[in-house]
Structures are given as C-alpha cells and as structure tokens.
Amino acid sequence: MLDISELSHASGFPASKLRYYEEIGLIRSVGRRGLKRLYEDEVKARISLIALAQKGGFSLLEIKQMIGVEGRPTIDRSALLEKADELDVRVRELTNLSNGIRHIANCSAENHLDCPRFQRIMRVALAKTTGRRNK
Amino acid sequence: MLDISELSHASGFPASKLRYYEEIGLIRSVGRRGLKRLYEDEVKARISLIALAQKGGFSLLEIKQMIGVEGRPTIDRSALLEKADELDVRVRELTNLSNGIRHIANCSAENHLDCPRFQRIMRVALAKTTGRRNK
DNA sequence: GCTTGACCTCAAGTTGACTTGAAGTGCTAA
DNA sequence: TTAGCACTTCAAGTCAACTTGAGGTCAAGC
C-alpha cells in the first residue's frame, strides 16, 4: 500500500498525472487514509506498462482497452493480436528509420533526400507500410 | 511538379495538413500556378519521412531539425546519432511490449499483471529503460 | 463575360494529455 | 487545540498538431 506521493516518487509520475489516470479509469486506488488515496503495490507495474504502451503510440483509451480495469483486457483476443501486429510493423519501420537517421548523420550528400543510399533505406522503411489504413 | 490536391492524393495527407506543414516550415512549395501551390516531386519522399519519424515519437520540431529545410539537418551529427540511439532503445522496448501484448492475448491468468510470465516480460521491457532521462 | 469550383488566407475551434490554481480538509506534531 | 502542510476537488489553462469555417480569388469551361 502506498499513498500518492510514494507512488509518484516510485514511478516518476507527478501526482497530478496519477490523479488524472485514476479519473479516466486507467488506474485505481483502493481506499483512503484520511483523504489521501491509497494504492496497491501492483499499480507500479501498471504504470510502467502504461508508459511503455504510450511510447508505442497507443492512446490512453487504447491502453485502457488493452489492459482493462482489473488486468483483464476489455477487447478481445484477436483485437489484441492485431495491436501486437501493428506494433511489429512499427518496430520494423523504426528500425529502418534509425538506420536512415544514422545515414543522414554520416552521409555527405548535399540533400539527403537525393542520396541514393538514403532513398533505398527509406524505400525499405516504407515498403511495409503500404496497405495500412490511414486514419 | 504537383499541386496540393495531387500531393494530397499521392500522400494520403489532407490538404489542410500539407498547408500546416508548409506554414511551420516542414515542407515548402516552389511556386504557384494562379494561387495554387506547386510542389516538387521530392516532397513526397519528405512527407513519408515525416510520417515515419512521427511514428517514432518525434515531434514536428524535432523532425524539422533532423531533416532540415533543404534536406540538410540543422542539428549536428552527434545529436542525430543520439536520436538514432533513442530510437533503438524504443525499438527494443516496443518489441518487448509486443510480446507482452501477445501474452495477454493468450494467457488465461485472472489478472495479467499477476502472471509471472507477463511480469518477466515487462521486467525485461523496462530494464533497458532505467537511466533514461524522464522528461 | 460570367459562373463555378477548387484553391487561397487567417482566425478560431478541437482533441488528447496533462498541468495549474484556488479553495477546502484532515492527520500530525507542538 | 491549534497550526501546518500535504493532500483533496474542480475548473480552467496549456501545448502540439491539426481541422474547420468564413470570406476571398483566380483560371477554365460554357
């Protein structure tokens, strides 16, 4: 059991953010000591997971659906697997982007977009992208 | 040479977004036909790159610094390599997250955060994260 | 030459994810 | 028992990244 300042300290999230997450139902407190919220230790893992998923480009709403209220997702298995696939596509793209950036850092071409090697890298990076729904 | 509707169609970006990008200096038009903007073909690659970098979690400002105005970055080599490193860290995290999500989809535990296998996956996913500046 | 329609500008509105501020509350220690 | 302080709520503010809307303009086809 931790109060909000302990959780804040442990997670590196400001208390305002934790209150906000609780407000939108991403985390929950299990009671109060006085008027202070009390959190279970488990919440720490939950918060780490949320932070991670955010880096993956998921919105808080998507994350809520994926991890659910009690650690059980509120969306179905196939939707979850779809998210994982999405993530894998992104991972491949970002790997290529990383290579592209490294190339820009090292290449001496006037305009990197004109450099054939860079173009090849980007062609690869984007090849996997075709066919994606565009929001 | 393409006008904005052609570019919009080719890139899948709404015209409003293209105008916005031009306004903030991320892309540029090379002239007008009447009052319609004219873009060079090169802009298509630039837009793809922007979209890709955004997926990598970079802000439009960061992207502008990385690819610059004429295809030359406005930040230095070491800063670029740092961005690439950042991206590599993220790639590893997201790979683990993907595994975590797949596990949630398949695991039958009551609460996934309690599942030891899931915990292990997340521990790995987050292990690489320690030491990162937290904004 | 006149209408039409796709573009234009510029200001204001929207959304997601928070933060900030003002005013209140209740353990804790003197 | 009273002061202090860390928490509380709730409304409003902020920021990035766009979108929307009102009112204007120009080339093209009738």
pLDDT at A62 over 50: yes
| Residue-level pLDDT at B127 | 56
Contact assessment for residue B38 and residue B1, using Cβ atoms and an 8 Å cutoff: yes
| Residue-level pLDDT at A80 | 94
pLDDT band at B110 (very low <50, low <70, confident <90, very high): confident
- A27 CA from C22 C1′ (Å): 26
User: 3-class SS at B64?
Assistant: helix
Cα distances from B11 to residues A30, B44, B53, in angstroms, run 49, 7, 15
The burial class, CB within 10 Å (0-12 / 13-18 / 19+), for B11 is: buried
Categorise residue B130: left if φ over 0, alpha if ψ from -120 to 50, beta otherwise: beta
pTM reported for the whole predicted model: 0.89
B125/A28: higher pLDDT: A28
Nucleotide minimizing C1' to CA distance for residue A54: C17
The string of pLDDT tens digits covering residues B31-64 is: 999 999 999 999 999 999 999 999 999 999 999 9
Nucleotide minimizing C1' to CA distance for residue B38: C7
The string of pLDDT tens digits covering residues B60-108 is: 999 999 999 888 889 999 999 999 999 999 999 999 999 999 999 998 8
| Residue-level pLDDT at A134 | 34
B84 lies within 8 A of chain A by CB: yes
A133/B11: higher pLDDT: B11
Q: What are the structural domains, with CATH classification, of chain B?
A: 2-67 (1.10.1660.10), 77-130 (no CATH)
pLDDT band at A61 (very low <50, low <70, confident <90, very high): very high
Interface probe for B, chosen from A50, A113, A119, A133 (most Cβ of B below 10 Å), is: A113
Which chain A residues touch B50 with a CB distance below 8 Å? none
| Residue-level pLDDT at B134 | 34
B104 lies within 8 A of chain A by CB: yes
